Structures are given as C-alpha cells and as structure tokens.
C-alpha cells in the first residue's frame, strides 16, 4: 500500500509540475504570436492524443511521465534535404524569427511558472493554517552549538536576530526557527536567540556553523544540537523477548528520563540507547500516575544503515510534541509565500554552487526515487504536507532549469543574452558543441542523483 501511495503521489506531483512549467512556455509563446505545434506531458509513445481544432495545437500525454515539452514552429527544425518548408504565411509565427526579448520571455516563462506555483501553494498553506511543533528546545547533546550557547532543554524560542544587530524576527514555530537557522548557517553567522525559560526570558548567542558537509538525509539542526522538545514519549508496543519486555516495560508507559537525562523526543532517546548497547541504563517511567525506576540493558544489534553494532531495546515509541496553530492573513500569507520561495531558491543555488566547488557533498543530490519516497511520505501526512512538498519540488525544478547548462532553459537564455549583448546569434556549430557538453553534464548529474537514491534505498 505504501508503494502504491508513493507511485500515485509521485505521478500527481510530477504531472502538476510539468503541466505548470510547460504551460508557462505555451501561454507566453501564444501571447508573443508564436505558433505552437504540440504540448506534450511526458516523453515517448503517446498514450492519449487530440488536436484542438481552434488553435491547431496537438495535446499529448506520453508514456514516460518524467517531463514534457512544448514544440513550436521553428525553421531550424525543418529538414532542407526533404524539400519541406514552412509556408510563407506562417514564417512570422516561427520561434526563431521572434525578437531576442520575446525568445527570452518564452524560455524564461517555464521556470517562472514554477516559482509562481510555489508562491501560490505556500501562500495557501500559510493562509489556511498549519499545525506545527512549538519552538521548544530539548536538552542538547554535549559540545554542540546549542549546548555551548547555554540551552539546557525546555526553553521556548521567541525570536532571532543577528549578533551584529539588525531586525529581530519573531519565531512562531519549530519550522519557522529551522528556516531562519538554515539561512544563518550558510553564512556561518552568529545569531542571538531570545527564549523563555522557567526563570524568565534570556538571550542565547549561537555560533551557527556550516551544513554543507551534511548529506541530504541528515538534518543540520541535529548537528547544531537543536531538536524539538517539551513533548512526552510513551511506549506504544513491546517486542517479545526484547530487552524492553525483560525489563518490564509495558505499552502505555511514559518515559520521563534515561540515566537522569530528561526525555522530550524520540530522536535523543534512540541516539542514547544506540550508544549504550550492552550497557545497563536506568529508565524513569510513569505508569498509572506513579513514577518508577527501571533498569534495562539494550541488546546489541547490527545497524543495517551503518554496519555498526548499536543498542536496541525493542520497543515501539509514540512521540507527542506540543504544537501551535500558525495562521496568517491573505496579504501576510502572500508575503511569506514570496519570502519562502525566495529563500529556498537562494538556498538551492548556493548549495549547488558549493557542490561544484567541493564545499558541499554531492550526496545532497536526489533523484526520482527519493522524490517518490518523499512524495509518498508527505501524502500520508496530509494535504498540507503534500502541497508544501509540491511547492518545494516546483522551486527545485525552476532553479534547475535556470542553470546556464545547454539543453536546459538556462542554457538557451545564455545564448539569447549573448545575442542581445553582441548583436549576433550564437552559431549553430557552437550551439551543437555546447548542447553535447550540456547533455554530458545532465547525464552525469542524473547518474550521481540515481546513485545517491540507490545508496539511501539499500544503505550502502
């Protein structure tokens, strides 16, 4: 069932993104007076095909749903050896006969449509309201940025500002905190988090390190020592013969502490157990309103993802974090939608640039398998998560297509910008050479992304 959900969610997401992207090209081409011959969703053998009698456009849904294209009338695509030619009355409607400005507008319209879609979707999420974990910090691991800043666990972050001064930004949820920390992380900036504690409200200066050495599967907030807290962790189930059963743990038990350390989320608890395989630890549990101490020795098991021996108690856990309902007005939602789209676009460009220079790992590249996996996961979480996922991938698609790589929209834009500056079009010979080089780049990136997908899937 999960596999089916992933496939359906992936097809829906990619279908929406491709249609929006290609409709951007199509609509601006029509506005510029260019004759459109075909609008195809997918590549390969057509599954469904029909012609609009009014416009003459052939609409196609093809077998391979990993892209699409809009075919426009273009003299360069006519084979002179066959003797075919474009009728004289259609020549003014050929794409290659349009001004540089019109060609730039047509090519740029696809990525721009993806950005507009992301703005609309994010704005809808902000306006409709979303329930998110509260910005409460759990007890950080020793020698992390959070621990060095003075966080002990249980603090509620209220706002953030640069250590050098400037505007103070309110923090409304954990997601809000994460995005603002992500922005600061790229510049290795020092920030000041204002948080409410049991004793009052205090400032916590945090040295936000870079995240570029982290793989796509690793949350940079964990590296900084920040994890959502303030929640309760309960035992949802116990495996027969496991360390949990031998120690007397039962479903419904609330885990309050492990070796005196407060437990506020599943991640910290699991990490602690993994590090104590074969070593006795003391759990403080709450059962029927009473607290008790339980000693347990985690079993030593081989971790399939790392190949290392780790501790495991054999209990299913249920994590309940305190949440807040975040909702904005229409204008504020639109502003936040624009800001979120801009932030993610800038983040994607900077991350790609750092991968090229070697400052960031190529493990950050993801392919269709990972996209399908996250499509399914977000769909199972609900409409809001799935809409946010589509917006995120739409931005990635827009940014990718604007990269100055021949065969992509950005490569064509580069040709036209050169033509606009020099007054001369890039020769067909150079375009052919650059197209081949661009194709090699795209194939190489695709292979790396696919390798990363497989590595995450089979854990090697």
**pLDDT tens-digit series, residues 90-120:** 888 999 889 999 999 999 999 999 999 999 9
Q: How far apart are CA 343 and CA 346, in angstroms?
A: 5
pLDDT at 80 over 70: no
Task: Supply the pLDDT for residue 215.
Answer: 43
Q: What is the mean pLDDT of residues 370-381?
A: 78
Position with higher pLDDT, 53 vs 80 = 53
The three-state secondary structure class of 260 is coil
| Percent of the chain residues topping a pLDDT of 90 | 35
Nearest to 64 by CA among 6, 111, 11, 114: 11
Domain residue ranges of the chain, discontinuous segments joined by +: 145-224, 232-319
Q: How confident is the model at residue 360 (pLDDT cuts 50, 70, 90)?
A: low
Instruction: Say yes or no: do domains 145-224 and 232-319 share a fold.
Output: yes
Active-site residue, from 6, 22, 132, 155: 22
Question: What single-letter DSSP state applies at residue 228?
Answer: B
For the domain made up of 145-224, give the CATH fold.
Pdz3 Domain (2.30.42)
Q: How confident is the model at residue 460 (pLDDT cuts 50, 70, 90)?
A: very low
Q: How confident is the model at residue 216 (pLDDT cuts 50, 70, 90)?
A: very low
Task: Supply the pLDDT for residue 19.
Answer: 93
Q: What is the mean pLDDT of residues 164-183?
A: 87
Please, what is the average pLDDT of the chain?
A: 85
Is residue 22 part of the annotated active site? The answer reads: yes
Task: Supply the pLDDT for residue 26.
Answer: 95
Give the CATH superfamily of 232-319: PDZ domain (2.30.42.10)
Nearest to 76 by CA among 88, 67, 85, 65: 85
* Whole-model pTM over 0.95: no
Nearest to 120 by CA among 258, 16, 270, 233: 16
Q: How confident is the model at residue 385 (pLDDT cuts 50, 70, 90)?
A: confident
Least confident of 269-283, 312-326, 363-377, 421-435: 363-377
Position with higher pLDDT, 121 vs 76 = 121
Position with higher pLDDT, 298 vs 382 = 298
pLDDT at 209 over 90: no
pLDDT at 278 over 70: yes
Place of tokens 């190529």: 362
Q: What is the mean pLDDT of residues 199-225?
A: 72
Q: Burial level of 50, CB count in 10 A (0-12/13-18/19+)?
A: exposed
Q: How confident is the model at residue 211 (pLDDT cuts 50, 70, 90)?
A: low
Position with higher pLDDT, 170 vs 357 = 170
Q: How far apart are CA 135 and CA 45, in angstroms?
A: 50
Task: Supply the pLDDT for residue 355.
Answer: 75
Which of the given ranges, 60-64, 122-126, 299-303, has the highest pLDDT on average?
122-126
Q: What is the mean pLDDT of residues 391-415?
A: 90
């Amino acid at each position: 069932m999960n596999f089916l959900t992933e496939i359906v969610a992936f097809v829906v997401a990619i279908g929406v993104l491709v249609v929006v992207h290609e409709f951007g090209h199509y609509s601006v081409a029509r506005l510029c007076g260019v004759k459109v011959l075909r609008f195809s969703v997918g590549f390969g053998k057509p599954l469904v095909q029909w012609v609009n009698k009014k416009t003459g456009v052939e609409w196609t849904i093809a077998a391979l749903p990993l892209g699409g294209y809009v075919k426009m009338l273009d003299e360069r695509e006519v084979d002179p050896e066959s003797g075919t030619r474009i009728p004289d009355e259609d020549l003014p409607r050929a794409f290659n006969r349009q001004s540089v400005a019109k060609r730039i507008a047509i090519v740029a319209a696809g990525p721009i449509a993806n950005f507009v879609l992301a703005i609309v979707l994010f704005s809808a999420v902000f306006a409709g309201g979303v329930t998110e974990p509260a910005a409460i910090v759990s007890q950080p691991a020793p020698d992390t940025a959070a621990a060095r800043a003075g966080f002990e666990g249980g603090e509620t972050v209220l706002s953030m500002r640069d250590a050098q001064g400037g505007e103070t930004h309110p923090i409304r949820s954990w997601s809000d905190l994460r995005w603002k920390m992500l922005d600061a992380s790229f510049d290795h900036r020092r920030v000041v988090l204002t948080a409410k504690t049991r004793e009052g409200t205090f400032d916590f200066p945090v040295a936000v390190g870079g995240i570029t050495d982290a793989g796509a599967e690793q949350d940079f907030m964990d590296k900084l020592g920040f994890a959502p807290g303030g929640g309760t962790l309960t035992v949802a189930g116990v495996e027969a013969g496991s360390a949990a059963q031998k120690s007397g743990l039962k479903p419904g038990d609330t885990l309050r502490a492990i070796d005196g350390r407060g437990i506020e989320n599943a991640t910290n608890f699991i990490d602690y157990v993994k590090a104590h395989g074969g070593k006795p630890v003391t759990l403080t549990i709450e059962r029927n309103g009473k607290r008790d101490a339980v000693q347990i020795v985690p079993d030593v098991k081989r971790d399939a993802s790392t190949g290392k021996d780790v501790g495991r108690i054999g209990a299913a856990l249920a994590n309940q974090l305190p949440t807040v309902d975040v909702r904005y007005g229409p204008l504020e939602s639109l502003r936040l939608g624009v800001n979120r789209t801009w932030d993610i676009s800038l983040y994607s460009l900077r991350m790609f640039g750092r991968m090229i220079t070697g400052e960031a790992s190529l493990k950050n590249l993801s392919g269709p398998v990972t996209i399908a996996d996250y499509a399914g996961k977000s769909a199972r979480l609900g409409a809001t998560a799935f809409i946010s996922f589509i917006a995120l991938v739409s931005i990635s698609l827009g940014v990718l297509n604007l990269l100055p790589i021949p065969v992509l929209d950005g490569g064509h834009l580069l040709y036209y910008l050169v033509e606009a500056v020099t007054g001369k079009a890039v020769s067909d010979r150079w375009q052919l050479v650059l197209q081949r080089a661009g194709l090699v780049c795209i194939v190489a990136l695709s292979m790396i992304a696919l390798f990363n997908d497989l590595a995450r899937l089979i854990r090697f």
